[in-house]
Chains A and B, each alone.
Chain A
Amino acid sequence: MLNVDDTVNPVEPLLRTDRMPHIWCPGCGIGTTVNAFSRALIDSKLDLQSLALVSGIGCTGRVAGYVKLDSFHTTHGRAIPFATGLKLANPKLSVIVYSGDGDLSAIGGNHLIHAARRNINLKVICVNNLIYAMTGGQTAPTTPGHAITSTNPYGTFEPAFNLPHLVDAAGAVYIARWTTFHVRQLARSISEAFDKKGFSFIEVISPCPTLYQRRNKMGDGLDTMKYYKEKSKVKHGAPTSEVGLTLNGEIAVGKFVDRDRPDYQSMMRAQYVESLGERYMEEPEMECVCG
């Protein structure tokens, strides 16, 4: 149980309250995910100093600006490679990538699959609102077929990415999906991801009432919560090939993948030790740059 002081929201110490109010729209789900993330950090009792959060560009990209952690708002699509450098330079850091579906799977898609392949020890939280929201609701690689967007005003017809399937094929060790209705399950998955060594991917289906739900006549934020509640089906361990999303259909949620394989830095260390023996100098000498 959280030790609740009723005058302070328990997640407040994790937020840059001097930056509130945030820019997100009424009914947007991103703030809900940040709340679940913050609660996961509290529950996990992680040393906040050892955490760094990296975002790309877009509505979810703004998360980096609101969390009171070492936080980096990088360029569009490049949160994962930035986080890769951060993690490799300081392996003691626990590095979270927090970004949107367009950022991570379109412009950043190449980095997503390669980070999963390398099994870099990163925790990726992908808030999937099914469109490009910051720029006004254009079609994303995740937009379900037939949805109306600003760039497909007569309905989309491109097949969409099934992100859990994509990162599963590329080698992620932990893959879960929840919606912003499933706040406790989401927080639990985030906590679990912190215990995994390797590339973890948590997809959060999240409403954009302003640009997606409204154009597709799906009601407001509350109506979307009802939809998530009624149409979500928990399918732990489901084959990721079967969890693709449709416009109004079922949303498979749960923990799809939880497996172990050596992460990038373990493999690197093992290879160097095998090849170089005592010539391998493991500890990066980071002190030297600080004078």
Chain B
Amino acid sequence: MRADPHGVLTGTHFIDGDHACCEGALAAGARFAAGYPITPSTEIVERFAARVPTVGGTFIQMEDELAASITLQGAVWGGAKAFTVTSGPGFSLMMEHIGYAAMTETPCVFVDVQRGGPSTGLPTLPAQADMMQARWGSHGDYEIIALCPNSPQECFDLTIKAFNLAEEFRVPVMFMMDEVVGHMTEKVVIPPADQIEVVPRKHTRRPIEDYLPYASNGELVPEMAHAGEGYKFHVTGLTHDERGYPNMTPQTQDKLVRRLQNKIRGASERICMFDEDGLHDADIVVVSYGITSRVAQRAIDMGRERGLKIGKLRLITAWPFSDHNILELAARVKAFVVPELNLGQMVREVERAAQGKARTVAVPHAGGGVHDPAEILNAIVEASRC
């Protein structure tokens, strides 16, 4: 379906990534946000708080991130599209409810504008060190989707995509921004509403007596109902059967947890988006995401000027990780160079997926700034010599 024009600020804007993310959420149909202030993400909900009363919706500032991350899920079961925004310390507090959203299959979006950590770290400066937390932060086996924008335009476009994926797969989607992308101001083009594709809720059309809230019906993603519609359904974070009833058996656990995993893994080719260039004859592939991909582009350009065959693989989707894509490349390139604003997170995935068929070279940075392109270029040159 097409976007509701009320929420779409069609036109050409000069705004930062945080504001663009808010506009993306509104365009996607988000009419509920619960938040707790934290730098460098707060501008997203500040804008939402100003905009949403004029388009029919609610913003509530909660008492902490624990509350914000579950309030939004109550709103989803009440019929809204909902999200919250935070940064590292708040993201840590939200882990409990990322698990709850995964287990209860509550479609929602968590925006994490990453800053330096651990703990309070660098509140106003960038990092990309929450990537593994986004994937593994809550306890138990589960799958999420994570997207990494590298510009204000992508903060708009991919926020819509994040909501669409959340609805399609009934999964919490992590929107992994970083401080630079969040605070960088660039041109953002917002198309007319009738050019914006919005995925509606996977709402059941079954009569009440035929509805099983967690029956996969052969599609792995169950149909949803909202409170107040007469279905009288039950939702629990306990291991549950197709009726949604708690069932404490290894068999029910196995069936449920495997389905939660398979609904994402089985669709990973469709979920995984890349920005790629020069891969066909590359010796070296630079794998990057978020703000680092823009610094890496400079290094790639410099290396190509020297005659090196460098491919670019930008991860727009970080999770699920595309093992298949890396393995296929590993068979025909010398090495992967992986710069990121952490001391080695996604590089481990690249290394694992390459299965030893190509070298993997990390270009770590502890955060607080971005790489010097020369550091990445040096790693490319080193890797191409081996």
Residues of A within 8 A of B (CB): 16, 19, 48-50, 52, 54, 64-65, 68-75, 77-78, 81-90, 92-93, 110-111, 114, 268, 272, 276, 279-286, 288-291
Q: In chain B, residues 235-273, which have Cβ atoms closer than 8 Å to a Cβ of chain A?
A: 235-238, 245-246
Evaluate contact between B228 and A50: CB separation under 8 angstroms.
Answer: yes
Contact of B4 among A87, A88, A111, A288 (CB under 8 A): A288
Given contacts A88-B58, A281-B55, contact A16 B234 (CB under 8 A): yes
B64 on the interface (CB 8 Å rule)? Answer: yes
Evaluate contact between B245 and A74: CB separation under 8 angstroms.
Answer: no
Evaluate contact between B80 and A111: CB separation under 8 angstroms.
Answer: no
B312 on the interface (CB 8 Å rule)? Answer: no
Given contacts A85-B70, A276-B53, A290-B200, contact A93 B64 (CB under 8 A): no
Evaluate contact between A87 and B78: CB separation under 8 angstroms.
Answer: yes
Evaluate contact between B237 and A89: CB separation under 8 angstroms.
Answer: no
Evaluate contact between A70 and B80: CB separation under 8 angstroms.
Answer: no
Evaluate contact between B79 and A74: CB separation under 8 angstroms.
Answer: no
Shortest CB–CB separation between residue B288 and chain A, in angstroms? 35
* A57, B69: Cα distance in complex, Å: 17
Evaluate contact between B236 and A291: CB separation under 8 angstroms.
Answer: no
Evaluate contact between A81 and B71: CB separation under 8 angstroms.
Answer: yes
Shortest CB–CB separation between residue B48 and chain A, in angstroms? 14
Evaluate contact between B228 and A284: CB separation under 8 angstroms.
Answer: no
Residues of B within 8 A of A (CB): 1, 4, 6, 29, 31-32, 34, 53-58, 60, 62-64, 66-68, 70-82, 96-97, 100, 167, 200-201, 203, 226-238, 245-246
* A291, B234: Cα distance in complex, Å: 23
Jot down 17 A-B pairs with beta carbons below 8 A, ordered by A.
A49-B230, A65-B234, A72-B227, A74-B70, A82-B73, A84-B67, A84-B74, A86-B77, A89-B77, A89-B80, A90-B227, A93-B227, A279-B53, A280-B54, A281-B53, A284-B31, A289-B29
Contact of B227 among A52, A283, A288 (CB under 8 A): A52
> Which residue of chain A lies nearest to B199 when distances are taken between CB atoms in the complex?
A291
Shortest CB–CB separation between residue A221 and chain B, in angstroms? 25
Evaluate contact between B70 and A81: CB separation under 8 angstroms.
Answer: yes
Evaluate contact between B67 and A78: CB separation under 8 angstroms.
Answer: yes
Evaluate contact between A69 and B232: CB separation under 8 angstroms.
Answer: yes
Shortest CB–CB separation between residue B243 and chain A, in angstroms? 8
Evaluate contact between A82 and B70: CB separation under 8 angstroms.
Answer: yes
* A77, B63: Cα distance in complex, Å: 13
Shortest CB–CB separation between residue B280 and chain A, in angstroms? 40
Shortest CB–CB separation between residue B230 and chain A, in angstroms? 5
Specify which chain A residues have a CB less than 8 angstroms from the CB of B64 in the assembled complex: 110
Contact of A283 among B32, B56, B200, B229 (CB under 8 A): B56
Shortest CB–CB separation between residue B262 and chain A, in angstroms? 24
* A183, B299: Cα distance in complex, Å: 74
* A192, B70: Cα distance in complex, Å: 28
Shortest CB–CB separation between residue B7 and chain A, in angstroms? 9
Specify which chain A residues have a CB less than 8 angstroms from the CB of B4 in the assembled complex: 285, 288
* A49, B227: Cα distance in complex, Å: 8
Given contacts A85-B82, A111-B67, A289-B200, contact A64 B234 (CB under 8 A): yes
Shortest CB–CB separation between residue A266 and chain B, in angstroms? 14
Specify which chain A residues have a CB less than 8 angstroms from the CB of B236 in the assembled complex: 64-65, 72-73
Specify which chain B residues have a CB less than 8 angstroms from the CB of A268 in the assembled complex: 58
Contact of B235 among A73, A81, A284, A285 (CB under 8 A): A73
> Which residue of chain A lies nearest to B198 when distances are taken between CB atoms in the complex?
A288
Given contacts A284-B31, A291-B203, contact A68 B70 (CB under 8 A): no
Specify which chain A residues have a CB less than 8 angstroms from the CB of B58 in the assembled complex: 88-89, 268, 284
Evaluate contact between A78 and B1: CB separation under 8 angstroms.
Answer: no
Specify which chain B residues have a CB less than 8 angstroms from the CB of A73 in the assembled complex: 234-238, 246
Specify which chain B residues have a CB less than 8 angstroms from the CB of A289 in the assembled complex: 29, 79-81, 167, 200-201, 203
Evaluate contact between B74 and A85: CB separation under 8 angstroms.
Answer: yes
Specify which chain B residues have a CB less than 8 angstroms from the CB of A48 in the assembled complex: 232
Given contacts A89-B82, A285-B56, contact A54 B74 (CB under 8 A): yes
Evaluate contact between A70 and B233: CB separation under 8 angstroms.
Answer: yes
Evaluate contact between B234 and A286: CB separation under 8 angstroms.
Answer: no
* A285, B58: Cα distance in complex, Å: 11
Evaluate contact between A49 and B78: CB separation under 8 angstroms.
Answer: no
Evaluate contact between B232 and A86: CB separation under 8 angstroms.
Answer: no
Specify which chain A residues have a CB less than 8 angstroms from the CB of B77 in the assembled complex: 70, 72, 85-86, 89
Evaluate contact between A81 and B237: CB separation under 8 angstroms.
Answer: no
Specify which chain A residues have a CB less than 8 angstroms from the CB of B72 in the assembled complex: 85
Evaluate contact between A71 and B235: CB separation under 8 angstroms.
Answer: yes
Evaluate contact between A88 and B60: CB separation under 8 angstroms.
Answer: yes
> Which residue of chain B lies nearest to A62 when distances are taken between CB atoms in the complex?
B246
Shortest CB–CB separation between residue B155 and chain A, in angstroms? 22
Specify which chain A residues have a CB less than 8 angstroms from the CB of B31 in the assembled complex: 284-286
Shortest CB–CB separation between residue A65 and chain B, in angstroms? 6
Given contacts A64-B234, A89-B32, contact A284 B97 (CB under 8 A): no
Specify which chain A residues have a CB less than 8 angstroms from the CB of B232 in the assembled complex: 48-49, 68-71
Specify which chain A residues have a CB less than 8 angstroms from the CB of B79 in the assembled complex: 89-90, 284, 286, 289-290
Shortest CB–CB separation between residue A249 and chain B, in angstroms? 33
* A63, B70: Cα distance in complex, Å: 19
